[in-house]
């Protein structure tokens, strides 16, 4: 599918596609969120029938919860900061393991309007995806106000989750 066509899908359309892909594999999904404050989980559970593929999630806004609930180490937080590629990857991997999901998605970032620096500007978001086969994280810089950044982060997370599930279609499920 072309990037243009891909970008025309609405969040409900993306959730529906993701749900269909997960149900086809009999997979379950979980989320770990920071800057979106539950927005990804809300977008997923807005879809009727999402209980067939969605386990739930953790809103780990504070670093203490990233450590205790998601297994992000003190060393990773100190070396990389809470808004980083490594933390997003660890959040997703920890969420997948602790919630016994087949795929987990994490979001950490700076939604603004304050909190940004030259190295980590407002709009910087890292999204992680973890499956039994692999974990990965991506860097994004979104524009707009706090609500815009959060909406864009949710949309990007759905795209990454859908891509991960489709790439692993047919891979044996191992939690």
pLDDT in tens, 11-69: 999 999 999 999 999 999 999 999 999 999 999 999 999 999 999 999 999 999 999 99
113-149, pLDDT tens digit by residue? 999 999 999 999 999 999 999 999 999 999 999 999 9
CA distances from 150 to 38, 68, 73, 157 (A): 10, 24, 25, 11
CATH class given for the domain over 3-167: alpha beta
Q: How far apart are CA 70 and CA 131, in angstroms?
A: 15
Spatial neighbors of 41 by CB under 8 A, at least 6 apart, are 31, 33, 54, 56, 57, 59
Confidence label for 167 from pLDDT (cuts 50, 70 and 90) = confident
Tokens of 120: 């980590």
pTM across the whole model: 0.92
Domain spans of the chain, in order of start: 3-167
Residue 78 has pLDDT above 70, yes or no: yes
Strand partners, 126: 108, 139
């Amino acid at each position: 599918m072309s990037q243009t066509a891909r970008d025309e899908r609405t969040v409900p359309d993306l959730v529906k596609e993701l749900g269909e892909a997960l149900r086809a594999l009999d997979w379950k999904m979980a989320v770990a969120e920071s800057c979106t404050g539950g927005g990804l989980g809300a977008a997923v559970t807005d879809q009727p029938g999402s209980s067939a593929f969605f386990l739930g999630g953790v809103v780990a806004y504070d670093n203490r919860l990233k450590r205790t609930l998601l297994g992000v180490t003190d060393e990773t937080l100190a070396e990389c900061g809470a808004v980083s590629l490594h933390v997003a990857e660890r959040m997703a991997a920890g969420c997948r393991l602790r919630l016994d999901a087949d795929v987990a998605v994490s979001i950490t970032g700076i939604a603004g309007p304050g909190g940004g620096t030259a190295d980590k500007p407002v709009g910087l978001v890292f999204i992680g995806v973890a499956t039994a086969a692999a974990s990965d994280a991506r860097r994004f810089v979104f524009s707009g106000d706090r609500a815009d950044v959060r909406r864009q982060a949710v949309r990007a997370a759905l795209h990454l989750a859908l891509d991960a599930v489709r790439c692993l279609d047919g891979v044996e499920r191992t939690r």
